[in-house]
Amino acid sequence: MLNGSLVDVGAVPPLADVGAGVPIPTRAQHKWPGLDGLDKASILAGMAAPKRSFPPYNTNTIHRTQVFERKVFLFLDKVQEVRRPDYTPSEQDILRCRVMTTGIFETKFEVDKVRFHMFDVGGQRDERRKWIQCFNDVTAIIFVCASSSYNMVLWEDTTQNRLKESLTLFKGIWNNRWLKTISVILFLNKQDLLAEKILAGRHKLEDYFPEFANYQTPQDVQFDSGEDEGVVRAKYFIRGEFLRISTAAGDGRHHCYPHFTCAVDTENIRRVFNDCRDIIQRIHLRQYELL
């Protein structure tokens, strides 16, 4: 039986069937504060004005109003359902809830006789000093990047672009002398939101990354059915920015394995997770010189 230890840098919801069987309390079993006052919220949900007041992506591109993403409106639109005494969150309700990771969360689970031991750590700047205690004897690092964040800023520093911060952080991890033998599984997450932004055309990727203007999609790229050429070009550009870091400083002792992910798409995450399992197996074989 194989054991894989992982450090998850960032936060991505696990597979839907990981932890299955854990009962989710209904509203009747919980005292949820403030639900009795939701009549006003239900009225607001039916009005266009509030949605104009809190746009998912601010017209000034990078601003603190970015917090009002579409998940807010998803729950406003179903407020009557949420306020019912017998309401139980659906799988999508759970996946679309976001809780910022602070501290270190340890999870152990088993899939197809492969044991996983995962540490989830927060990506915020003040959380990074806690990482070092998790990096001892790990098999791989899962680095989660929000691909759609190219026009957004950090909570803790409104002058710093989020995607550029992710690239800087990735470079620091990749070049860290203590991690020279630890491979990185790269999750380029929020592909659905990236596609929405590119197709909407309100925030052009080249406005934040000027080099994108001259970028050409690799000729060997396989398009999915119905996939927009502009979206494919954008996601492979972001992928290329990370791979440029890993190839520039790579010495063959560790590898970068990129994946395009959408955390609310359970089938996508299931396929990616199976790939990660195979990657971890190969890493183990390589460590013991069997591959």
pLDDT in tens, 140-173: 888 989 999 999 998 778 888 999 999 998 998 8
116 DSSP β-pair partners = 4, 109
Q: What is the pTM of this model?
A: 0.71
Q: Pick 172 or 234 by higher pLDDT.
A: 234
- Do the annotations mark residue 6 as ligand-binding? no
Q: Are residues 235 and 155 in the same domain?
A: yes
Nearest to 167 by CA among 105, 101, 251, 256: 256
- Do the annotations mark residue 95 as ligand-binding? yes
- Do the annotations mark residue 99 as ligand-binding? yes
Helix (H) or strand (E) holding 155: none
Q: Stretch 227-252: mean pLDDT, rounded? A: 92
Q: Given pLDDT bands bounded at 50, 70 and 90, which one contains residue 10?
A: low
- Do the annotations mark residue 122 as ligand-binding? yes
**264 domain residue, yes or no:** yes
Last-in-domain residue among 88, 109, 136:
88
- Do the annotations mark residue 123 as ligand-binding? yes
What lies within 8 Å, CB to CB, of 147 at 6+ separation is 163, 188, 189, 190, 191, 193, 194, 235, 238, 260
- Do the annotations mark residue 97 as ligand-binding? yes
- Do the annotations mark residue 11 as ligand-binding? no
Q: Pick 258 or 43 by higher pLDDT.
A: 258
- Do the annotations mark residue 256 as ligand-binding? no
- Do the annotations mark residue 120 as ligand-binding? yes
The SS3 call for residue 87 is: coil
- pLDDT value for 162: 93
Nearest to 189 by CA among 242, 260, 243: 260
Q: How far is CA 26 from the centre of its chain?
A: 28
- Do the annotations mark residue 250 as ligand-binding? no
Helix (H) or strand (E) holding 284: helix 266-287
**224 domain residue, yes or no:** yes
- Do the annotations mark residue 190 as ligand-binding? yes
pLDDT at residue 210 greater than cutoff 70: yes
**95 domain residue, yes or no:** no
Range of the domain at 66: 27-88
Kindly report the number of other CB atoms within 10 A of residue 244's CB atom.
Answer: 12
Question: Total structural domains in the chain?
Answer: 2
- Do the annotations mark residue 222 as ligand-binding? no
Q: Are residues 50 and 179 in the same domain?
A: no
